[in-house]
Amino acid sequence: MADNERKSLGSRITGSMVWTSIFRTPFPTTRSERLKSILNNVFLHLHPAKLSRHAVKLKYTWCMGGLSFYLFIVLTISGILLMFYYRPTVEYAYTDIVDLSEQVPMGIMREIHRWTAHMMVITVLLHMFRVFMTGSYKPPREFNWVVGVLLLTLTLFLSFTGYLLPWDQLAIWAITVGTNMARATPFLGHEGPGAALLAIGDINLVTMSSDVRFALLGGRFVGESALLRFYVLHCVALPFIIMIMMSVHFWRIRRDGNISGPL
């Protein structure tokens, strides 16, 4: 076999039948292949194929939106792993968390999940701050800013619902402080202004066992049903909603003409 015919290991892999069946374009080397590599890949095609130079600079976007999305993915993966071990009942929740660090090999999944969650709140806040400071909420991006504010709210709720799950003192008292405020919701909380107006004759409609706080906790205090509700919200309902809103967010970034710029 002549030397010049010997192929490198890399090009053997990228030229193999398996590789070419997975990736619709060969490993990009030419300009048109590079364009196609973005368009032909379901993950990469969240991006446009071409962008203005200022938009890819770190000092313009700080990459904060992208990092928020990445942290969300890290949270999803580590969260799924945690779900293998965790049972949302008053009886088991706390001991399952203890076991996670003591019995499970390489038990830092809980740390990863918790610190990543804190980090995501920070990156989302900073992303909002960046978008404001570059004036990127101005037309045509007004609506995407609104979607962004919803994403921020959802991020905070995700973090808040997760806070209860370890079922330790920190958890239930933080959630007790937080949900006690819901008692005072105007009209809908039993200690809120206007709640007394919602009555039929002498019968109050908004009571301790029928107000928004009760709906949130599934009871009059933070107990078994609150744990289950927060678990379902945290692991299923809120991630489902936030993923839909993220899709809208990303779609709109593309439709609104990609990253904002001075032109």
Partner 1 sequence: MLELIKNTIDFLSQPSISLTMILVAFPFVFPPTEKFDVWHRKLKLHKIWTKQGGLIGLVFITLYFFLGFTDEHFSLILKKPDNVPIIFIIYSVLFFLWLSMYQAYENDKRMAAGEPVAEYYPAKEKVLVWPDLVFIEFIALILMTVFLLIWSIALPAPLEQAANPTLSPNPAKAPWYFLGLQEMLVYFDPWIAGVLFPSLMILGLMAIPYFDRNKEGSGYYSFAQRRKSIFIFLYGWLVLWIFPIVVGTFFRGPNWNFFGPFEEWSVAKVVALSNVNLSDYIWVKMLRIGLPSNPLIRESVGIVFILAYFGVIPIVLARGKLRALLEKLGPIRYGLIVFLALAMMLLPIKMYLRWTLNLKYIIAIPEAFFNI
Residue ranges in 220-239 that form contacts with partner 1 under rule CB under 8 A: 221-223
Contacts with partner 1, 163-192, as mask; x by CB under 8 A? x--xxxxxxxxx-xxx-xxxxxxx--x-xx
- Residue 104: alpha-carbon gap to chain centroid: 25
Q: Do residues 245 and 147 touch, judged by C-beta distance below 8 A?
A: yes
Spatial contact of 145 and 137, defined as CB atoms under 8 Å apart: yes
Q: Considering the complex, what minimum distance in angstroms separates the CB of residue 134 from ligand HEM? A: 6
- Minimum distance from residue 82 beta carbon to ligand HEM (Å): 20
Report which DSSP code applies to 28: P
Rounded distance between C-alpha atoms, residue 173 and residue 194, angstroms: 28
Q: Tell me the C-alpha distance between 56 and 4, whole Å.
A: 39
Q: Which amino acid appears at position 6 of this protein?
A: R
- Kindly state whether residue 124 participates in binding ligand HEM, applying the rule CB under 6 A: yes
- Beta carbon of residue 230, minimum distance to ligand HEM (angstroms, whole number): 20
What token pair was written down for 144?
């995407």
Residue 246: which of ligand HEM, partner 1, none does it interact with, CB under 5 to 8 A by kind? ligand HEM
Region binding ligand HEM by CB under 6 A among candidate stretches 9-17, 137-145, 197-205, 219-227: 137-145
Residues 61-80 that bind ligand HEM (CB under 6 A): 61, 63-66, 68-69
| CA dist., res. 154 & res. 147, Å (int) | 11
Q: Which partner in ligand HEM, partner 1, none is near 253 (CB below 5 to 8 A by kind)?
A: ligand HEM
Please choose, out of 79-87, 90-98, 146-154, 223-231, the segment that lies near ligand HEM by the rule CB under 6 A. Answer: 146-154
66 near partner 1 (CB under 8 A):
yes
Task: Tell me how crowded residue 168 is: count the other CB atoms within 10 A of its CB.
Answer: 14
238 binding ligand HEM? (CB under 6 A):
no
Please tell me the distance from the alpha carbon of residue 118 to that of residue 101, in angstroms, as a whole number: 19
Indicate which single residue of 83, 98, 149, 199 sits in contact with ligand HEM (rule: CB under 6 A): 149
Distance CA 205, CA 207 (A): 6
Residue with tokens 């839909």: 244
Residues that bind ligand HEM (CB under 6 A): 61, 63-66, 68-69, 124, 127-128, 131, 134, 136-137, 141, 144-145, 148-149, 151-152, 155, 246, 249, 253, 259-260
